[in-house]
Amino acid sequence: MLESGQLVHPMTIGGAIVFSKIVYPLAFVVCCAGLVASVFYALHESVVESASLREGGALQVDTHRIDIGKIRQQETKDVTFRLYNVAENDLSLESVHTSCGCTDWHLDKRQLESGESIDFSVTFSSGQARNRLGATIRIFYKNLVTEESGNLFLELIADIQPDYDISPRLLDFTEETESVQYISLTPRFGEDIRILDVHCTRNYYEVEIVKSEPAESIIKITFLPEKKLPSEKQAVLELTTSSERQPTFQITLTCDP
């Protein structure tokens, strides 16, 4: 007799799986495993959705994290969290802090009675950010009777789609060798976006636009070591583009021995 928690190691014999001398057809075992996995996944999702309402402090929320998905630069997205007072006493929402300026929030009231819920509205602004961006929101609250306090943390995540791609985003040159490298700009959404101007913060780089067309723009960067001072290690290349969502883009140029 197997004790609770004892492991049984299966063996495959002639297309079947043997557990403790009992032979089951392999197809039957696989089918059962798939069914168990499906049921477990469904139960897990249900637990995840309601976990924040059963665990934590007096102020709870329907979901701690909202994935906005894909959004373009300079766009906004409104989302709503539902806050719940599960304490026996009233709660005061003392303050709200966000991790970046990409979020703005709104509350209709700052005091929740026991058992009361309220919408917490958040506006996410993508600005000129690129790719994956996350923001954290902390709500500080206090029990008005016991004066116990707590924090509720929320998170927003967005996949920001830039107007164009730059490649490469970092250039490294050899300190004592004159060399040439190129940077390209490629529009993402079929729009006519080009490089209009380029400027470098160091004069030991010569830069010029060698191609400026709707499908691609190319910059040529020539490194001139004889103009470089020993103390100068880094330069910044600033591109001016025709994009309304991200008019400028900066690229770091480094020079190693």
State the pLDDT at residue 56: 57
Question: Do 174 and 218 belong together in one domain?
Answer: yes
Closest listed residue to residue 173, CA positions, set 208, 222, 209, 220: 222
Q: Is the pLDDT of residue 46 over 50?
A: no
Tens-place pLDDT, residues 91-107: 999 999 999 999 999 99
Q: What is the pLDDT of residues 141-180, one digit of tens each?
A: 999 999 999 999 999 999 999 999 999 999 999 888 899 9
**How many domains does the chain fold into?**
3
**Are residue 135 and residue 152 in the same domain, yes or no?**
yes
Final residue in a domain of this structure, among 116, 137, 161:
161
What's the pTM? 0.70
Q: What pLDDT was estimated at residue 125?
A: 97
Q: Tell which of 161, 182, 205 closes a domain.
A: 161
The CA-based diameter of the chain, rounded to the nearest angstrom, is 84
Identify whether residues 203 and 228 lie together within a single domain: yes
Q: So what's the pLDDT on residue 5?
A: 39
| 168 and 247 housed in the same domain | yes
**Mean pLDDT of all residues in 7-26:** 38
pLDDT tens-digit series, residues 61-84? 999 999 999 999 999 999 999 999
Cα angle 226-230-234, degrees, rounded to a multiple of 5:
95
Spatial CA neighbour of 102 closest among 83, 65, 129: 129
Residue 116, domain extent:
59-161
Q: Give yes or no: residues 218 and 184 share one domain.
A: yes
Q: What is the pLDDT averaged over residues 4-31? A: 37
